[in-house]
Amino acid sequence: MKLSMSKLFAPIIFLSISACQLQPDVKQLQHENQKLEADLQQARSNIEQLHLQERQLEAQLAELTRVNAMLDNEKTSRVQESSALRSQVRGFVQHQIDVYKEFLVRGGLLDYVGGELVERSHAEDEPWLLLDLANPVPRAGRLTGVGGYFVQPGKFSVNVLRPVDSKLVTIWESQPLQVVQPGIHHIPFTVSVVVQQGDVIAYQLDENISVVFDEGTGDTRFRKEALSLGQTVSASAFGGEKRRRTYSLGVYGLLN
């Protein structure tokens, strides 16, 4: 009988003990649930704050974009005004330079290097490359144009050669220059050239052009082959040493 009673109360005792153990677990779960709710609420608050900051940043970005576009527009306007002003100033200065050069040429105030521009006994009708060894540049300076006495219009160009170790190096070449009618002409270079003392001038004649010359008074050599920029030649590569020709060709500019 005692054994049966013990067997009857054993499950009751076990359930009581289990109920006592389960009560704290429920409370812990409730506590954890409350904590999770609080964390969730905090996370939602943080997300809302981030959304608010994002909207503020977007508004700031839009304002900065607007200001930047306005500044770019103002800068573009200033650059255009500045470019227009610089262009006007350059045009004015270039016009003044052209007037000044023309005044110096017409007044005979520029330095001249070459044969005198006078009528001579002969007329060259061959497309020679003429090398004027009798009239090297006497002083350093800047050449601004060329003059010549022409009996037949056409085209020609000018080269500047510099003596280097008993050779002549082509350091500059002008654009083709046009002579439209016979007579004495002064033609400005598109771009002036800086020269040194001792530089030598060469003239490349076109097939149609003709320029006057005398023999026995100068030292202009000639040959058929043209020069290229940077090419090195020697005076012996030119003929006509014994003819001692003087051509009515020369360059002018401002020498020191």
Q: Residue 11: its pLDDT value, please?
A: 58
> What is the SS3 assignment for 173-193?
ECCCEEECCCEEEEEEEEEEE
Q: Residue 100: its pLDDT value, please?
A: 64
Least trusted range by pLDDT, from 11-25, 29-43, 148-162, 239-253: 11-25
Alpha-carbon distance 229 to 174, whole Å? Answer: 10
**For 125-152, what is the mean pLDDT?**
95
Closest to 216 in 3D by CA, of 238, 236, 242, 237: 242
Alpha-carbon distance 115 to 19, whole Å? Answer: 131
Alpha-carbon distance 185 to 193, whole Å? Answer: 19
Q: What is the CATH number of domain 113-255?
A: 2.60.120
Q: How many helices (H) and strands (E) does the chain have?
A: 1, 13
Q: Residue 70: its pLDDT value, please?
A: 81
- Confidence grade of residue 14 (pLDDT, cut at 50, 70, 90): low
* Distances in whole angstroms, Cα of residue 195 to Cα of each of 143, 155, 186: 7, 23, 19
- For the chain, the structural domain boundaries read 1-109, 113-255
Q: Residue 246: its pLDDT value, please?
A: 97
Q: Residue 28: its pLDDT value, please?
A: 81
Predicted TM-score (pTM) above 0.75: no
The answer to whether residue 133 scores a pLDDT higher than 70 is yes
Q: Residue 136: its pLDDT value, please?
A: 97
Q: Which residue has the higher pLDDT, 108 or 75?
A: 75
Q: Residue 218: its pLDDT value, please?
A: 95
Q: DSSP label at 207?
A: S
- Contact present, 214 and 246 (Cβ < 8 Å): yes
Q: Which residue has the higher pLDDT, 98 or 249?
A: 249
Q: Residue 29: its pLDDT value, please?
A: 80
Q: Residue 233: its pLDDT value, please?
A: 96
Q: Residue 54: its pLDDT value, please?
A: 85
Q: Residue 30: its pLDDT value, please?
A: 80
Share of the chain above pLDDT 90, in %: 54
**For 194-222, what is the mean pLDDT?**
95
- Confidence grade of residue 7 (pLDDT, cut at 50, 70, 90): low
The string of pLDDT tens digits covering residues 168-197 is 999 999 999 999 999 999 999 998 999 999
